[in-house]
Chain A
Amino acid sequence: MRVHYTALGLIFCVLLLLAPANGFEAEEERQFEVDNPTATLNILSTADLNIFAPLVEAYQQKYPGVEVRYITASSSELMKALYEENAQFDIAISSAMDLQTKLVNDGYARRHDSAETGTLPDWAKWRDRLFAFTQEPAVLVYSKAAFEGLPQPTNRDELIALLRENPDRFAGRVGTYDIRESGAGYLFATQDSRQSESLWRMAEVMGRLDAQLYCCSSHMIRDVTDGKLALAYNVLGSYAAAHLDDNPDLDVLQFNDFTTVMLRTVLIPNTARDPDLAGQFVDFLVSEENRERIEDLTGLPSIDPGVLQREAAFRPIRLGPGLLVYLDQLKRRTFIRAWLNAMVQP
């Protein structure tokens, strides 16, 4: 027994030593090596490695000699790393706009002002510290077969009516984010509640239809493709677009009452070892000339300053102190409780 305890104690000590070095939980890590590196750029990101790798390689093509260390983590782990552990990264990329805003607001980001960031529209940057480089609308992904014989809904009210009138067809076959688990889901739901009261009716209708709750967009898309779901609400359109060509039954719908648009943002943490290099990378991401290329490389729609004129329903989530409201613990608890009351019915 004694030996046992000693061994446990040793393990505990090793864990303690390791913890400060890498307290947050990373998912993937990859070193983009180059010959004769002159500098290293450390990126902490929520975007999957396979999505971002081509972009990093394009960056290295333009700036040879820069070694890139790319580490992915969930948005809450990213927040933990920067906010609590002061982990040293040159770049932080996240789709959790609220957490990124909090990092900037609470003074964890470095200012960066350049000609490239100047080309961004006002809604795509905040305080010269937070810069958006993609705009990803929340859409409805549905199976054409499941909607056969029904009129195609164009807004939320029509979808609610449709679901209400056809409980047999949709029971157990609607999906959406579990906002307790998913930061993006919580963000979309709170923005929905800000835009209209239809969120609560939608939650109630979906709850009555025994809605399936998901952690991520990709799982919802998979289940719609498999035919398990008839529709998935508030899915990241950018993820769905990749599957449309392979699955003729799959379709994407942008509501014309309003379409919440999530912005993927980048910031330079205060702890950056090489802020100039980080600034160069930010400029690479947001510069006007690279926008089209980034879209081709990652499949993520890049910032389009004129989109608001063309798409009347587009509502990019506003960067700024308003986003701090839904991070308030009391607010979050109240909101999730109300949402669960509607969504999970006994």
Chain B
Amino acid sequence: MTAVRARGSLRRRLLLQLLLVAAILSVALYFTVRALAQQAAETTQDNILIASATAISEAARAERGQILVDVPYSALSMLGSIAEERVFYRVTADDLTVTGYDDLPAPDAAIETGNPVFTTTIYRADEVRIAALPRRLTVGDETVILTVLVAQTRLGLAAVSLQISIAAAAAGVGFFLLSGALSWFATNNAMRPLNRLAKSVERRGPQDLSPVETSAPTELVPLLQSLNTFMGRLSASLARTEDFIAEAAHHVRTPLATVRTQSEIAMRSVRKPENKQILREVIRAADESSRSAGQLLDHAMVALRSDNLEKERLNMKDLAQDVIRSISPTADLKDIRISCSGSDTTSAVEGDPILLQNALRNLLDNAVKYSPEDSRIKVEISEAASTVRVDVLDEGRGLGDGDRSHLTERFGRGDNVRDVIGSGLGLTIVDEVVRAHGGSLALTDNPESKGTCASITLPSA
């Protein structure tokens, strides 16, 4: 029946996109933190290496044409203070090794005095970082380039960068989880006005075509406006239809009355029994048509008034007795007695008297119509904690064994009354009236005899 199929969810879409953004940012965070931390660790190592090289370089001097290097204890011990790394050093004058590990490779890069050069290479089976610090030294009459090389393995650095990577990954995951949770909250928050609107529309009854009056976010205003315009047009269209039906019924009833009158006159003048029978059929058909037209009118009125109830305080028993009085002539024709029982003082309800009368009349009308001649119809009014109940019990043919659910549908009729003429509008009217008053209609079998028990329950005033 519903033409709207759910395809994807705004909420999920929003959430997924936010999570995607969070994931991208988390990965970016991971790489940034790792790169920065590694750079920091490398810079720290470079700084210590250059400090060590400087200390050695400053301890170098020339004495009687010989280069003397008094390597300070701290120059190498400072390299061992951070991590337990292997340490190598070499001092060269031009290309000659003065002291240290003479196979420690000097950087290929052109050496300018004063500027340290860093290289990373494999030396004695481990990756080492080498700092080379050149300076000029005057030995005797000539000037040589004295280069101090200090190297340190990077095993600790590898361990540190692994630690940093793990920490960065943890930070990334933490960031993702946090932003995931925040995304969830944000999504819910953003969807709240939409949900509220959907709920308020959902809460409206199927009959409620009044404009939706609520505040909504800017993005939803056009939708709401369209909805209201549409509902306005729909309700106007509905009203026009009801008007048309009422008008049509009215226009049909008048010629029908004429047909009936003319038929009665004609009946007096015909003699043949078969002609009389034909005329009787005509009269009966005219009556039924007139009644149906009346019900159509009633239904249109009910539909109109239900939207805008004119409520007042009513005594249900008085109301019932009025209806019984108005229907008695019809009942008398079939020798049907209608009795009314129940409390008369407190059975008060808030309601529209015309609609409720109409509903009761339809119930009784049905009861009379389906009751055999010389039977009884009982109207019982009772009260419960917060409800007033009216039961109409007849001794008719009952509801039959068929499906009862469509009895209150418009133009729906019981399976066992095909031989009796009826519009199928009666119970529809009752149902609509009762619903408009916040009550309910129930059809059950008469517990006392074989007939039907039609009950309406209304909230008491």
Chains A and B are bound partners: yes
Give the B-binding residues of A (Cβ under 8 A).
104-107, 126-128, 194, 318, 320-322, 324-326, 328-331, 334
Select one of A106, A325, A330, A331 contacting B77, CB under 8 A: A325
Query: Which of A104, A194, A324, A334 counts the most chain B CB atoms within 10 A?
Result: A324
Whether B84 and A329, one on each chain, are in contact in the complex, defined by CB atoms closer than 8 angstroms, is: no
Of B66-74, B168-176, B295-303, B408-416, the one contacting chain A is B66-74
Quick one: CB contact mask for B269-281 with A, threshold 8 Å, 1 for yes? Answer: 0000000000000
Select one of A106, A318, A334 contacting B68, CB under 8 A: A334
Select one of B77, B84, B98, B126 contacting A322, CB under 8 A: B77
Whether A322 and B80, one on each chain, are in contact in the complex, defined by CB atoms closer than 8 angstroms, is: yes
Whether B69 and A324, one on each chain, are in contact in the complex, defined by CB atoms closer than 8 angstroms, is: no
Whether A329 and B76, one on each chain, are in contact in the complex, defined by CB atoms closer than 8 angstroms, is: no
Whether A106 and B79, one on each chain, are in contact in the complex, defined by CB atoms closer than 8 angstroms, is: no
Q: How far is the CA of A104 from the CA of B77 in the complex (A)?
A: 15
Known contacts A107-B124, A320-B77, A321-B77, A330 near B71 by CB under 8 Å: yes
Q: How far is the CA of A239 from the CA of B95 in the complex (A)?
A: 48
Whether A318 and B86, one on each chain, are in contact in the complex, defined by CB atoms closer than 8 angstroms, is: no
Q: Within 8 Å CB of B85, what residues of A?
A: 321
Q: How far is the CB of A120 from chain B (nearest CB, A)?
A: 13
In the complex, 23 of the A-B residue pairs with CB atoms within 8 angstroms, ordered by the A residue number, are A105-B88, A106-B86, A107-B124, A127-B84, A128-B84, A318-B77, A318-B80, A320-B77, A320-B84, A321-B77, A321-B80, A322-B74, A322-B80, A324-B89, A325-B71, A325-B72, A325-B75, A325-B76, A326-B73, A328-B99, A330-B98, A330-B99, A331-B71
B87 contacts chain A at the CB level, 8 A cutoff: yes
Q: Within 8 Å CB of A322, what residues of B?
A: 73-74, 76-77, 80
Select one of A105, A326, A328 contacting B87, CB under 8 A: A105
Q: How far is the CA of A153 from the CA of B84 in the complex (A)?
A: 39
Q: How far is the CA of A104 from the CA of B80 in the complex (A)?
A: 13
Whether A334 and B77, one on each chain, are in contact in the complex, defined by CB atoms closer than 8 angstroms, is: no
Known contacts A105-B86, A320-B80, A329 near B99 by CB under 8 Å: yes
Known pairs A322-B77, A325-B76. 17 more at Cβ < 8 A?
A106-B124, A128-B84, A194-B73, A318-B80, A321-B76, A321-B77, A321-B85, A321-B86, A321-B87, A322-B80, A324-B87, A325-B73, A325-B77, A328-B69, A328-B71, A330-B68, A331-B99
Quick one: CB contact mask for B104-138 with A, threshold 8 Å, 1 for yes? Answer: 00000000000000000000111000000000000
Across the interface, name the chain A residue whose C-beta is closest to B67: A330
Q: How far is the CA of A184 from the CA of B57 in the complex (A)?
A: 29
Q: Within 8 Å CB of A330, what residues of B?
A: 68-71, 98-99
Where chain B touches its partner, the secondary structure class is mixed
**B77-97 at interface with A (beta carbon < 8 Å):** 77, 79-80, 84-89
Whether B84 and A126, one on each chain, are in contact in the complex, defined by CB atoms closer than 8 angstroms, is: yes
Q: How far is the CB of B304 from chain A (nearest CB, A)?
A: 94
Quick one: CB contact mask for B226-264 with A, threshold 8 Å, 1 for yes? Answer: 000000000000000000000000000000000000000
B100 contacts chain A at the CB level, 8 A cutoff: yes
Give the A-binding residues of B (Cβ under 8 A).
68-77, 79-80, 84-89, 98-100, 124-126
Q: Within 8 Å CB of A106, what residues of B?
A: 86, 124
Whether A107 and B126, one on each chain, are in contact in the complex, defined by CB atoms closer than 8 angstroms, is: yes
Q: Within 8 Å CB of B68, what residues of A?
A: 330, 334
Across the interface, name the chain B residue whose C-beta is closest to A130: B84
Q: How far is the CA of A326 from the CA of B80 in the complex (A)?
A: 15
Q: Within 8 Å CB of B80, what residues of A?
A: 318, 320-322
Q: How far is the CB of A128 from chain B (nearest CB, A)?
A: 8
Q: How far is the CA of A321 from the CA of B76 in the complex (A)?
A: 6
Known contacts A322-B77, A325-B73, A328-B71, A107 near B99 by CB under 8 Å: no
Q: How far is the CA of A104 from the CA of B71 in the complex (A)?
A: 20
Q: How far is the CB of A284 from chain B (nearest CB, A)?
A: 24
Q: How far is the CA of A318 from the CA of B74 in the complex (A)?
A: 12
Q: Within 8 Å CB of A127, what residues of B?
A: 84, 86
Whether B70 and A334, one on each chain, are in contact in the complex, defined by CB atoms closer than 8 angstroms, is: yes
Q: Within 8 Å CB of A325, what residues of B?
A: 71-73, 75-77
Query: Which of A104, A126, A325 counts the most chain B CB atoms within 10 A?
Result: A325
Whether A324 and B99, one on each chain, are in contact in the complex, defined by CB atoms closer than 8 angstroms, is: no
Across the interface, name the chain B residue whose C-beta is closest to A318: B77
Q: How far is the CA of A334 from the CA of B74 in the complex (A)?
A: 17
Q: How far is the CB of A124 from chain B (nearest CB, A)?
A: 13
Whether B100 and A328, one on each chain, are in contact in the complex, defined by CB atoms closer than 8 angstroms, is: yes
Q: How far is the CB of A231 from chain B (nearest CB, A)?
A: 28
Q: Within 8 Å CB of A321, what residues of B?
A: 76-77, 79-80, 85-87
Q: Within 8 Å CB of B89, what residues of A?
A: 324
Across the interface, name the chain A residue whose C-beta is closest to B69: A330
Query: Which of A127, A322, A326 counts the most chain B CB atoms within 10 A?
Result: A322
- Nearest first, the 3 closest Cβ-Cβ pairs linking A and B are A322-B77, A320-B80, A321-B87
Q: How far is the CB of A83 from chain B (nearest CB, A)?
A: 12
Q: How far is the CA of A107 from the CA of B88 in the complex (A)?
A: 11
Q: How far is the CB of A175 from chain B (nearest CB, A)?
A: 27
